[in-house]
């Protein structure tokens, strides 16, 4: 029955099969593929799209007894409660400062690192530097934070040991000062991820046509000039895509690391939207699922808008975006 109705030509590439096939016939002949896709499809719907549907509780006053559908609608009350609550002026600025600081520092440093590494003479040394600088990326957040706090301990850590070896005095306790949280967060990320994040730029630089370099050398360009006028332009497209992705994730600033670093000394600086979402929703004495969901949704929406804006901006400026 359907065979006759669906006289639509398949939009897919026909793989060299010359005769026309109807869409239905083609789908039917690919039944094994659809069978394979069944499980992944069920998975993504249940574990990604059902929770998105669950976002409706942001507009309800959820209580366990009535469930998601039975709980009463309250419109934007949860959002208003967040905007007017006493945590709003704390968590929103903290998130923005941390996100902006991270972006400004951790975006350009891998690019500079890749440019320098690419210009470094000596293949072996290059390889050694590259391999060693990848390693910290594979350290877990917990171990990373444990390491950070252990090494920066002003009495027993490496920092304390070096400080007193040089000056003879006891080091000041940099961990006790809450406002150092931002610096610790961002610069430990530089330590951990620069090598890894540089991979893509290093690979892009390896693809640069060597004839360009040779021609420029003949014309008397110095190595530094070649970096500026050959290497930099050649990684700009890659960099702009990475920037869009970075901006599109800027508000997703890591819950795991901020939460792991959090302690009573830095709480005023380290309480960000995602850690607040966790506390309101799951960790406080009286949890509020609806409020927590609303705060999380607020964050996701801002993030998504930033992504679209960055993508739009990139398309306007350079003609390329991620979608």
Residues 91-150 that bind another protein (CB under 8 A): 113, 116-117, 119-121, 128-129, 131-136, 138-143, 145-147, 149-150
Assess 80 for contact with another protein (CB under 8 A): no
Interface of this chain with another protein, residues 262 to 281, rule: CB under 8 A = 274, 277-278, 281
Q: Which is nearer to another protein, 105 or 199 (CB)?
A: 199
CA distance readout (Å), 126 to 3, 77, 107, 113, 131 = 62, 57, 21, 11, 9
Q: Which is nearer to another protein, 23 or 230 (CB)?
A: 23
What is residue 55's DSSP assignment? G
Q: Are 111 and 238 in contact (CB under 8 A)?
A: no
Q: Are 236 and 115 in contact (CB under 8 A)?
A: no
Rounded Cα distance between 271 and 320, Å, is: 36
Single out the segment in contact with another protein by CB under 8 A; choices: 86-94, 100-108, 157-165, 178-186. 157-165
Single out the segment in contact with another protein by CB under 8 A; choices: 73-81, 89-97, 99-107, 251-259. 251-259
- Tokens of residue 213, six digits: 């370099």
Least distance in angstroms from the C-beta of 197 to another protein: 9
Interface of this chain with another protein, residues 184 to 223, rule: CB under 8 A = 191, 194-196, 199-200, 203, 222-223
CA distance readout (Å), 243 to 70, 196, 247, 275, 297 = 43, 16, 6, 25, 23
Closest Cα to residue 226, out of 240, 239, 238, 214? 214
Q: Which is nearer to another protein, 97 or 119 (CB)?
A: 119
Interface of this chain with another protein, residues 10 to 69, rule: CB under 8 A = 10-16, 23, 26-27, 30, 32-37, 39-41, 43-55, 57, 68
Q: Which is nearer to another protein, 96 or 141 (CB)?
A: 141
Exposure of 144 by Cβ count < 10 A (0-12 exposed, 13-18 middle, 19+ buried)?
A: buried
Q: By CB under 8 A, name the one of 74, 97, 161, 246 that touches another protein.
A: 161
Least distance in angstroms from the C-beta of 116 to another protein: 5
Total of chain residues touching another protein, rule CB under 8 A: 105
Q: What is the dihedral of CA 259, 264, 269, 270, to 10 degrees?
A: 0
Q: Are 305 and 315 in contact (CB under 8 A)?
A: no
Least distance in angstroms from the C-beta of 94 to another protein: 18
């Amino acid at each position: 029955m359907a065979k006759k109705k669906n006289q639509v030509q398949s939009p897919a590439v026909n793989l060299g099969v010359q005769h026309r096939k109807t869409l239905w016939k083609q789908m039917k002949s690919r039944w094994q593929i659809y069978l394979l896709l069944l499980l992944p499809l069920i998975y993504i719907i249940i574990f990604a799209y059902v929770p998105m549907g669950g976002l409706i509780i942001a507009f309800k006053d959820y209580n366990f007894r009535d469930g998601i559908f039975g709980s009463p609608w309250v419109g934007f009350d949860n959002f208003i409660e967040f905007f007017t609550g006493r945590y709003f002026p704390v968590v929103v600025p903290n998130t923005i400062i941390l996100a902006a600081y991270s972006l400004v520092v951790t975006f350009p440093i891998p690019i500079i690192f890749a440019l320098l590494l690419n210009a470094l003479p000596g293949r072996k040394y290059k390889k050694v530097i590259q391999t060693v600088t990848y390693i910290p990326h594979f350290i877990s957040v917990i171990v990373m934070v444990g390491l950070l706090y252990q090494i920066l301990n002003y009495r027993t850590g490496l920092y304390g040991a070096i400080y007193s070896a040089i000056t003879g005095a006891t080091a000041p306790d940099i961990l006790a000062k809450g406002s150092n949280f931002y610096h610790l967060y961002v610069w430990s990320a530089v330590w951990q991820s620069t090598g890894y994040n540089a991979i893509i730029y290093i690979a892009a630089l390896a693809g640069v046509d060597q004839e360009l370099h040779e021609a420029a050398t003949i014309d008397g360009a110095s190595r530094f000039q070649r970096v500026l006028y050959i290497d930099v332009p050649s990684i700009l497209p890659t960099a702009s895509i990475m920037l869009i992705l970075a901006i599109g994730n800027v508000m997703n600033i890591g819950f795991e690391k901020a939460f792991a670093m959090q302690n009573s000394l830095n709480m005023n600086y380290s309480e960000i939207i995602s850690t607040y979402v966790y506390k309101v929703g799951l960790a406080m004495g009286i949890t509020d699922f609806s409020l927590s969901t609303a705060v999380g949704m607020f964050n996701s929406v801002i993030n998504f808008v930033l992504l679209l804006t960055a993508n739009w901006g990139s398309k306007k400026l350079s003609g390329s975006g991620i979608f």
